[in-house]
Structure 1
Amino acid sequence: MSLAGKTILMSGGSRGIGLAIALRAAREGANVAMLAKTDTPHPKLEGTVHTAIEQVRAAGGQGLAIVGDVRDDDDVTEAVLKTQGEFGGIDVVVNNASVIDLSGSLELPAKKYDLMQDVNVRGTFMLSRAALPILKEAENPHILSLSPPLNITPRWLGAHTGYTLAKYGMTMVTLGLAAEFRSDGIAANTLWPATTIATAAVQFALGGDRMMKVSRTPEVYADAAYEVLVRPAREHTGQTLIVEDVLRDAGVTDFAKYAAVPGTPDGELYPDIFLD
């Protein structure tokens, strides 16, 4: 299957992994609707929802910028209706929007805890739910959430409990939808990388420039997401997938091109959180 002519509704995506996924789809001729808050440039971060959609169009796809907040139910409803109105349907929902804070439980501000729950868990549920009636009409409908496998070892449960709860919540929502709507032919899967990805989240939340140098580029995530989204939905659902495993299954054997610093051996790349 192909994403040519298919319509993707994505939360976030002004930069980083979400943008990379959008551009990968756009190069195949997909339509991309993006619900994001970044109406104006951030002083420290590149990109807005408008510049992202400009890049989508330049890459060969059709794009729709929707300024809104995935925490706002009216914005979510409007995003779904605008996407359907613009492109005639929705084939894919990508739950990309996410907030990260690795603070310990005693240090994590209550407002930040609430923000992570609202964006990561509730946002994933509400955007997916709002799109479900339209996804049911799609030829090969997919929900893809950028969240990890449910690794319940003490190492990860106790590392940053607030953030772990929020990311695992995204996965639980996705697996629940997979089970609930399997008979409707809607696939719902999660996707997570084996190594850190060179994004602003890694730079500012995990380890700065040093961590960026031992990460892979967002394109590795985007290529894996593409492979997931072109699979037959009825045959591939309810899975917590790893980026590199997906690409290996697709025949990729050389990951050198994905190193953020060319020439960095795979053994020197930093493993991502939540994976043993």
Structure 2
Amino acid sequence: MSESTIRVAVVTGGSRGIGRAVVERLAREGYAVVVGYAGRKDAAEEVAGAVLAAGGRAISVQADVADEDQIIELFERAEREFGGVDVVVHAAGKLALSPVAELDLAEFDALHRTNVRGTFVVAKQALRRLRAGGALITFSTSVVGLALPGYGAYAASKGAVEALTRILANELRGRDITTNTVAPGPTATDLFLDGKDEQTIDRMAKQAPLERLGAPEDIAETIAFLASPAGHWVNGQVLRVNGGIV
């Protein structure tokens, strides 16, 4: 594949969890992938190295998703290295659990800085740079619908992402670029498993009719579909990818 025809994906939060699974899945589809990461340089380089070892193309780039200058540089690296950007998957996110009455507002501000401001910052550059035929995919959570106690700040931040989805689709009118939000249910990542005992994990796994936790690869398959020509007629949607939890 020539430099002019290679498809290029930027994946924020690409060093771990769902983001890593997305990097690996898109690389298998032939994408050159930019692995965006916040602090885990070792993990990001490991992911990029695995793609390279399998014959793919990847670089890792450190960037705070809420810092506009750093995200501009991330996109410019993608353009310098690979010639452009076709898919942006904004998988970076932050989780904080607390009843609203006990919520530390400093923690609330940090969560919204990453989840809300970060989505706006990444979307701003994606809208400016994506090539025709491209896709922007952001992340919410099925907790927005489930309304679980303790998830108030997190669900509120992801509700903002969902509200943005249709507006972004309309702002991209006429450019042949789609934008959708994926809202996973309980998924076996470090972010989800941290701080939960086995009883809690087992109870949450049984919420879905399929009676298991999602795997990062389950979510990555949906992302790969939305990024592909086969998924290009899906636009402005929030997809609950959760095994049937309602």
TM over 0.5: yes
**1:196 alignment partner in structure 2:** 186
8 Å CA contact 2:41, 2:62 repeated in 1 = no
- Candidates 124, 133, 140, aligned match of 2:133: 140
- Residues 181-240 of structure 1, C-alpha deviation per residue, up to 9 Å, x if partnerless? 1222221101123x42110012115x2445277413211111111111113676321011
How far residue 148 of structure 1 moved from its aligned partner, in angstroms, is 3.6
Matching of residue 66 in structure 1 with residue 61 in structure 2: yes
- Residues 69-106 of structure 1, C-alpha deviation per residue, up to 9 Å, x if partnerless? 11211101100111111111000111100101121112
Closer/same/farther in 2, CA of residues 162 and 180 from structure 1, 3 Å limit: same
Matching of residue 104 in structure 1 with residue 105 in structure 2: no
Q: Secondary structure at the match of 2:174?
A: helix
CA distance in 2, matches of 1:112, 1:11: 21
8 Å CA contact 2:17, 2:190 repeated in 1 = yes
How far residue 162 of structure 1 moved from its aligned partner, in angstroms, is 1.1
- Candidates 233, 238, 243, aligned match of 1:240: 238
- Candidates 206, 220, 223, aligned match of 1:222: 220
Q: Secondary structure at the match of 2:48?
A: helix
8 Å CA contact 2:188, 2:214 repeated in 1 = yes
8 Å CA contact 1:84, 1:90 repeated in 2 = yes
8 Å CA contact 1:149, 1:240 repeated in 2 = no
Closer/same/farther in 2, CA of residues 233 and 183 from structure 1, 3 Å limit: farther
8 Å CA contact 2:142, 2:242 repeated in 1 = no
How far residue 23 of structure 1 moved from its aligned partner, in angstroms, is 0.1
The one-letter amino acid of 1:11's match is: T
8 Å CA contact 2:44, 2:60 repeated in 1 = yes
Closer/same/farther in 2, CA of residues 158 and 216 from structure 1, 3 Å limit: closer
**RMSD, aligned CA:** 2.5
CA distance in 1, matches of 2:164, 2:59: 26
The one-letter amino acid of 2:238's match is: T
Closer/same/farther in 2, CA of residues 217 and 60 from structure 1, 3 Å limit: farther
8 Å CA contact 2:15, 2:40 repeated in 1 = no
Higher strand share: 2
CA distance in 2, matches of 1:240, 1:68: 26
CA distance in 2, matches of 1:197, 1:144: 18
CA distance in 2, matches of 1:128, 1:196: 25
- Candidates 160, 163, 180, aligned match of 2:171: 180
Closer/same/farther in 2, CA of residues 151 and 74 from structure 1, 3 Å limit: closer
CA distance in 2, matches of 1:244, 1:61: 30
CA distance in 2, matches of 1:103, 1:83: 37
Q: Secondary structure at the match of 1:190?
A: strand
Runs of 4+ in 1 over 3 A off after TM superposition: 148-152, 231-234
8 Å CA contact 2:67, 2:121 repeated in 1 = no
CA distance in 1, matches of 2:61, 2:223: 22
> 1:118-137 alignment to 2 at 5 Å?
118-135=113-130
CA distance in 1, matches of 2:10, 2:55: 17
8 Å CA contact 2:141, 2:155 repeated in 1 = no
8 Å CA contact 1:7, 1:89 repeated in 2 = yes
The one-letter amino acid of 1:162's match is: A
TM-score normalised by the chain length of structure 1: 0.76
CA distance in 2, matches of 1:168, 1:56: 33
The one-letter amino acid of 2:16's match is: R
CA distance in 2, matches of 1:39, 1:200: 13
**1:22 alignment partner in structure 2:** 23
TM-score normalised by the chain length of structure 2: 0.85
8 Å CA contact 1:25, 1:226 repeated in 2 = yes
How far residue 160 of structure 1 moved from its aligned partner, in angstroms, is 2.6
